[in-house]
Structure 1
């Protein structure tokens, strides 16, 4: 019995010592972590190759500030405010710099300088593996070559009847609704853009204009792009999404399955389009965006061709890129015209002589319209955010700073278009400024990628911009 008691006491003693050792290990581990964090902060603030680049101290040590701005839909404005405070080179994250100095911007985006795309593009694309998301330069070139002259002005002009048909339907329905009160033109332009892009890709529209309702696939596309834009700025969000996916809630399931619904839709309409092309004896589908690509899929002599899966990704990307950007920019164009009476009067006088049939050729002959559209793109282009690139191996000197290989660098159109040394009254909508533009003005234009008196028309920035109120109402003018 005494032996058992001694054994029990020995075991308890060892457990107590073990607990003490675990406590010491925990304290030691915390101490090591604190030292690591302090050393990391010290390095980033004082010894990093980017330490001399101006910017807030909190941007130098963490991406938290950038992630917070992205979640709030305010990234482009937050970065722009830093440029106003710190200048043309601003450190916005431990390994990322935003640049607005035009000569450096040209070097970054020159195809000769090998500033590659980061994995950010693939994250933003959210599983849509289109040319936009491809990081490898050679693979990207091959993908673009497969398109040939699909997007040339000559080919687009052949599609004008399709575009005009949908546009006429949209305008007639807006006129109809204006008789009964205010009309949300963003809603109608969204219908219009999605129907046009879908028909040009697949030979069939999305029936949004005819049904006067949003196709669920378009909602899925918007969700996909928004999630991708936020995920790209927040490391670890993909894991959180994965874990959330196990929650058996219908809304969560709807969001997490949007990619699959989009791909299922693309597969179906592409198969339908393939059958249409095979039966197209009159060759009426020849100028459509993917006719050539569909025909080349099984062509053994074609060097640059896409598989069905690649074509599905490209067509999905077209829907994403085309529908929201077109509808948003068109909405801001109308809003800007209607909120500037002098611009509206000048434009109406120019449009009076067009006659009943409005064609692209006629519109191209209207000088003031061109000025209005260019100023709209300057202030309200749908993709004003930064398109990041990675400094090539060996590093690069941009302006007064040397950036080591692997550094993230970006430039955003929102800031380029508001450079006060380039644009007089940069936040004002003044189409006349483009009547005699300077070389600097032309060089700073990056339209696809300010200030407003109407809060509902302020930007919400989740990769692309859109009005924060998600509508833009217009009404008939009452003549006194």
Structure 2
């Protein structure tokens, strides 16, 4: 069965049509998040992702969105620079020892160090101490399958935890360690707020809101959701961006020529409006969005008319960017003069008022990462060492997308 609207289960419809997607996700359209989102987190843990009440979401989004605006992020850019420079140094060292670079690994470590420092005021420092911080990687690497099971067959989690199956056992052991670190780090950072000039984080403004703000436990949960949403996601898109550029030498050379004109010590403000860099990143996100899977919504009271069909109220209507974005050829030039339909179909960071709150931070990391990488490794190519092949980069999506081979080897001699 195929077409722009498909009923894939009783009470569930998937839609891949620009006009219908716009209608579903428009402001005050009446389509709400359903119970599926409640299963994304344990009971009592609330984040922007699993809030289903639109009125509560508006309040939370207003409070949480401010620190993700460009003006505030400018004051945190030094953290991104520091971790990015360290990641590139580690890549250079691996290149000397191994003869190639696993960019997926280093981008994940970099993104994890960035988002933990920006959220908690202290980094897990996995770039420097990989083995000491394996619990975070164990936890994050298993979250995708866990989310997939939790949202489809939650009973399996109960059974698996009782049987102590190895995969779930490692997650159960890693989760409390990561949670303990988060609680202790938030507590430590709060004590630093008494200082005259505390180091700013994404949550610093929230500690000053009093009764209108969040409790320490809520901030801990929100910071934890930042790690889930802001580490593997950004790193995976960055990895596919580097891989796609390296597979297209003409794209690589044109990008290298553009970023070579930048001064030493350049900032994000210097690269934010580079035309070809932005075309490349947008094309990469089109093909390799971090969350290509469904964004389910529930039809409003009285039902809805979509694509000539009456969809009854309380029907789950899902949209997903994988189908809407599909045209397999990687061609950044398509974004030089995009049509209105192209812009409206683009939902690489979600759609409507529930789009990713961290989009600006993700773009900062993607722009700076691609720029620094190709200034340092201007002749980088996809490696064939250690059996690396294109099939390793086939996409697998539980909730978040990742390469099926768990690696991306790049030659950069």
Range class of TM-score, shorter chain = 0.7 to 0.9
8 Å CA contact 1:118, 1:390 repeated in 2? yes
Q: Distance in 2 between matches of 1:231 and 1:238?
A: 4
Match of 1:232 in 2: 151
Deviation digits for residues 223-255 of structure 1 (CA, Å, limit 9, x no counterpart):
23421123313xxx3233223322356654333
8 Å CA contact 1:328, 1:382 repeated in 2? yes
Deviation digits for residues 350-370 of structure 1 (CA, Å, limit 9, x no counterpart):
121113213111112421111
Q: State the SS of the aligned residue for 1:210.
A: coil
Q: Distance in 2 between matches of 1:130 and 1:175?
A: 38
Q: Distance in 1 between matches of 2:392 and 2:164?
A: 35
Match of 1:38 in 2: none
Note the aligned Cα RMSD (angstroms): 1.8
Match of 1:447 in 2: 348
Match of 1:118 in 2: 34
> Is 1:293 aligned with 2:210?
no
8 Å CA contact 1:226, 1:462 repeated in 2? yes
Q: Distance in 2 between matches of 1:402 and 1:104?
A: 13
From the superposition, tell whether residues 432 and 390 of structure 1 become closer, same or farther in structure 2 (CA, over 3 Å). same
> Is 1:320 aligned with 2:231?
no
**Gaps in structure 1 of 5+ consecutive residues:** 1-54, 56-85, 419-425
Deviation digits for residues 346-395 of structure 1 (CA, Å, limit 9, x no counterpart):
11111211132131111124211111111111111211111000011211
One of 360, 369, 377 as aligned partner of 2:277: 369
8 Å CA contact 1:146, 1:306 repeated in 2? no
Match of 2:91 in 1: 174
Match of 1:188 in 2: 106
Match of 1:220 in 2: 139
8 Å CA contact 2:396, 2:402 repeated in 1? yes
Q: State the SS of the aligned residue for 2:305.
A: strand
Q: Distance in 1 between matches of 2:55 and 2:256?
A: 48
Deviation digits for residues 410-431 of structure 1 (CA, Å, limit 9, x no counterpart):
111111112xxxxxxx210000
Deviation at 1:162, TM superposition (A): 1.2
Match of 1:433 in 2: 334
Deviation digits for residues 434-460 of structure 1 (CA, Å, limit 9, x no counterpart):
1111111111101134xxx81000101
> Is 1:204 aligned with 2:122?
yes
> Is 1:140 aligned with 2:57?
yes
Deviation at 1:198, TM superposition (A): 0.3
Match of 1:464 in 2: 400
8 Å CA contact 1:194, 1:218 repeated in 2? no
Q: Distance in 2 between matches of 1:190 and 1:394?
A: 45
> Is 1:263 aligned with 2:189?
no
Match of 1:384 in 2: 292
In terms of Rg, which structure is larger?
1
Deviation at 1:284, TM superposition (A): 3.6
> Is 1:407 aligned with 2:315?
yes
8 Å CA contact 2:11, 2:316 repeated in 1? yes
8 Å CA contact 2:149, 2:156 repeated in 1? no
**Gaps in structure 2 of 5+ consecutive residues:** 351-388
Deviation at 1:157, TM superposition (A): 1.2
> Is 1:473 aligned with 2:404?
no
Q: Distance in 2 between matches of 1:262 and 1:284?
A: 22
Q: Distance in 1 between matches of 2:167 and 2:324?
A: 39
TM-score normalised by length of structure 1: 0.74
Q: Which has the higher contact order (CA 8 A, sep 6+)?
A: 2
